[in-house]
């Protein structure tokens, strides 16, 4: 069975071939908040994700395709590094629209 490891990390796009957050939204566990974190109704962004890929016939959830942040901007307004872009996420949107830009990443490094 193929597995994912850190050697598959793409330093240009800052991503892996399969992303836990994307799988979580496809499973209906939550949405991507303006913070670019997975947000669940029950626990907000305080979750740790792991993924298992299988072709087993399992019951699935309803995919989440839009953010449920509404007009909330708490993470945007409170981030001391100004790293939160603040756009409402939609499934399939470009990653650049939801995650901190290179300028912020360069500033952190
Ligand atoms: S905008 Fe509000 S609900 Fe959305 S991720 Fe930020 S703090 Fe959470």
- The domain limits of the chain are 15-51+64-109
Q: How many CB atoms lie within 10 A of CB 43?
A: 12
- Confidence at residue 70, expressed as pLDDT on a 0 to 100 scale: 94
Q: Which atom of ligand 1 is nearest to the CA of 67?
A: 4
Task: Give 91: exposed, middle or buried? Use CB within 10 Å, 0-12, 13-18, 19+.
Answer: middle
Distant-in-sequence, close-in-space partners of 46: CB < 8 Å, separation ≥ 6: none
The phi and psi torsions of 21 (rounded to 5 degrees) equal -65, -40
Asked if residue 93 has pLDDT above 90, the reply is: no
State percent of the chain over pLDDT 90: 51
Segment 19-70, tens digit of pLDDT:
899 999 999 999 999 999 999 999 999 999 988 888 999 998 999 999 999 9
Asked if residue 4 has pLDDT above 80, the reply is: no
Cα of 30 from ligand 1 centre, angstroms: 12
Assess whether the C-beta atom of 75 lies below 6 angstroms from ligand 1: yes
Q: What is the mean pLDDT of the chain?
A: 85
d(CA 37, CA 16): 16
d(CA 107, CA 109): 6
Q: pTM here?
A: 0.78
Q: Which atom of ligand 1 is nearest to the CA of 86?
A: 1
Shortest-distance Cα residue to atom 2 of ligand 1: 72
């Amino acid at each position: 069975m193929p597995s994912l490891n850190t050697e598959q990390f793409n330093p240009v796009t800052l991503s892996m071939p399969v992303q836990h957050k994307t799988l979580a939204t496809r499973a209906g566990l939550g949405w991507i908040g303006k913070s670019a974190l997975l947000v669940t109704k029950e626990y907000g962004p305080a979750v740790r994700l792991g993924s298992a890929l299988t072709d087993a016939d399992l019951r699935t959830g309803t995919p989440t395709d839009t953010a449920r942040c509404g007009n909330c901007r708490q993470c945007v307004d409170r981030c001391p590094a100004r790293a939160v872009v603040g756009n409402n996420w939609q499934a399939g949107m470009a990653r650049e629209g939801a995650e901190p830009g290179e300028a912020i990443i360069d500033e952190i490094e």
